[in-house]
Structure 1
Amino acid sequence: MKRRTADGTYRYVLVLGAKVNGIRPSSALRYRIEAAAAYAKRYPHVELIASGGQGPDEGMAEADVIARELMARGIDETRIHIEAESTSTVENFQLSRSIWDGEPGLTIVTNDFHVKRARLVGRLYFGLSTDALYAKTPPATKLKYVVREQLAYVKLFINYIRWKWRP
């Protein structure tokens, strides 16, 4: 899939959740939030979808942390939609669909290691065109995330085959 950097084309920006430490964003999530906030300031017509549920070891849903941090960076709350139930990349799209449904595409915000798979989910499962904001990955965790991402591709394709061939 060709790298496609976001350029203001799409109305909705899907900010994918990541680990929350207590009620504070992890470094990976903070980089996503910073990229989304800068983009939203550059393109005031876009609306943001903060997406991500609350894990058992998190004090707040990822989406709520994203929304709070976007507002702290000057993004008006009327531009932010919250989806706080998802637990995976596929669910981020699926449970946010009621917000972006009918649009030809989305901008995806995630860390650089995750962009390709996130865009693939959008295309395979939802038929979307996408572009992306490539938030950086914290250097201390990059190797862990890159290895985990390879395993996630295997899971993605197994689940896609099951989904595609379901009765």
Structure 2
Amino acid sequence: MILLLPAAVFAALYVTSRRRDVRRLRNGVFLVAAAACVLLAVAVEASRATPFLESLVLLGVVAGLGLIAILAVFLIGNGVTMLRLEGHSLGNLLSLVAGVAILVFPVLAAVPAFGLDRPTRLPGWATILLIGLGLLLLFACGYAAATFTAFAVYSLVYSRYRHTDRPAALVVLGSGLIRGEVPPLLRSRLDKALAVYRSVPDDAIRPILIPSGGQGSDEPRAEGDAMAEYLLAHGAASEDVHPETASRNTRENLLRSLEVQRAAGRSGSTLVVTNNYHVLRAALLARSVASDAQVIGSPTAAYYIPSAFLREYTAIMVEHKRLNAAALLTVAALVTLAAVWSVIPR
């Protein structure tokens, strides 16, 4: 049960990091690492106990591989659905590409290993090169799987974190208009903000509502104006609605909305409203701009969630490109050193 020691370490790191700030992606890494160590420890001990438990562990591994294959097929099907319902775009292709990658990349990574025990006409250096490339691809697959698991798990954990129900300001992030009107995706955010707004007792100070979004190149008006119109039409008091109409992305949404909140003289906690798939990334961005805002999510159509989660994951990986590149380059350097060592005459 030696693996329970690193599990305890990762669990302690998770608790400590979460207490410092719940809006940290590393919290998800620590949580998933702790859970993985516990599962591995249980599997190792079970495999040593009796043949029956060993068979159960083997059955669990086979079932896990089967679930991965089912996930790949599901993502491919979801990708087809996204293309049919949402149109042909790179973002809508993500779930389809991910499903194909899950099926293809591990096979490509394992091909060199299967050829080790068979005669080959390739020169020794070419064989080593193929094995090295296979190891790099295998690590890349494992790295992507581990980081996505940490992101997905902690997205669910953070979305269930209880935030204040009496904020000083409610910021609603924009997400694009359709022919100048609020579409269902954005409407769910506004309805969530209105639900929090209405839940404040009559004898308490109501939060101000800050619908945030500028005018895109394909939009006839600013998102903030259309969102403010929706809020007013659904019962929000005009003195409580302060639209922000200059932002172009989530980071600017947060920064410019903070300026609007300050201009309105509303100091205090800020609650940001977005869709559930976007909650964690919005929270990470809030932390990066030194805002103390917490984030809550509104419902999203089920078919849209897998592709949306993949987009959010991709965006986070790009935002942390230096860290990810360092990890991949470190492994590449180690594999290169091992390959050079293997060809040095001894």
Higher share of residues assigned helix? 2
What's the counterpart of residue 133 of structure 1?
296
Question: Of 160, 163, 185, which aligns to 1:28?
Answer: 185
Cα contact 2:282–2:295 (8 A) shared by 1: no
What's the counterpart of residue 244 of structure 2?
83
Relative contact order (alpha carbons < 8 A, sep ≥ 6): 1 or 2 greater?
Answer: 1
Question: Of 206, 213, 222, which aligns to 1:52?
Answer: 213
Question: Of 109, 112, 115, which aligns to 2:276?
Answer: 112
Distance 2:320 2:291 in 1: 16
Distance 2:250 2:321 in 1: 15
SS at match of 1:81: coil
Cα contact 1:110–1:134 (8 A) shared by 2: yes
Cα contact 1:22–1:60 (8 A) shared by 2: no
Higher share of residues assigned strand? 1
Q: What is the 5 A alignment of 1:148-159?
A: 148-157=311-320
Gap change, CA 1:158 and 1:79, over 3 Å in 2: farther
Gap change, CA 1:51 and 1:75, over 3 Å in 2: same
Gap change, CA 1:57 and 1:13, over 3 Å in 2: same
SS at match of 1:97: helix
Cα contact 1:4–1:132 (8 A) shared by 2: no
Distance 1:9 1:37 in 2: 13
Q: Which string of whole-angstrom CA distances, capped at 9 and with x for unpartnered residues, describes residues 60-87 of structure 1?
A: 2111111010111100111011111111
Gap change, CA 1:158 and 1:63, over 3 Å in 2: farther
What's the counterpart of residue 70 of structure 1?
231
Distance 1:77 1:127 in 2: 26
Question: Of 199, 211, 232, which aligns to 1:42?
Answer: 199
SS at match of 2:209: strand
What's the counterpart of residue 222 of structure 2?
61
Matched residue type, 2:289: Y
Identity level (%) = 28
Q: Which string of whole-angstrom CA distances, capped at 9 and with x for unpartnered residues, describes residues 32-57 of structure 1?
A: 01111111111261111110111112
Deviation at 1:119, TM superposition (A): 1.2
Matched, 1:15 2:176: no
Deviation at 1:7, TM superposition (A): 3.4
Distance 1:4 1:108 in 2: 13
Cα contact 1:111–1:136 (8 A) shared by 2: yes
What TM-score do you get using the length of structure 2 for normalisation? 0.43
What's the counterpart of residue 163 of structure 1?
none
Runs of 4+ residues deviating >4 angstroms: none
Cα contact 1:64–1:84 (8 A) shared by 2: yes
Cα contact 1:21–1:59 (8 A) shared by 2: no
Q: Report how many residues are paired.
A: 158
Matched residue type, 1:131: Q
Gap change, CA 1:123 and 1:9, over 3 Å in 2: farther
Matched residue type, 2:227: I
Distance 1:47 1:158 in 2: 36
Matched residue type, 1:149: E
Cα contact 1:52–1:86 (8 A) shared by 2: yes
SS at match of 2:170: strand
Matched residue type, 2:290: F
SS at match of 1:126: coil
SS at match of 1:20: coil
What's the counterpart of residue 336 of structure 2?
none
Matched residue type, 1:11: A
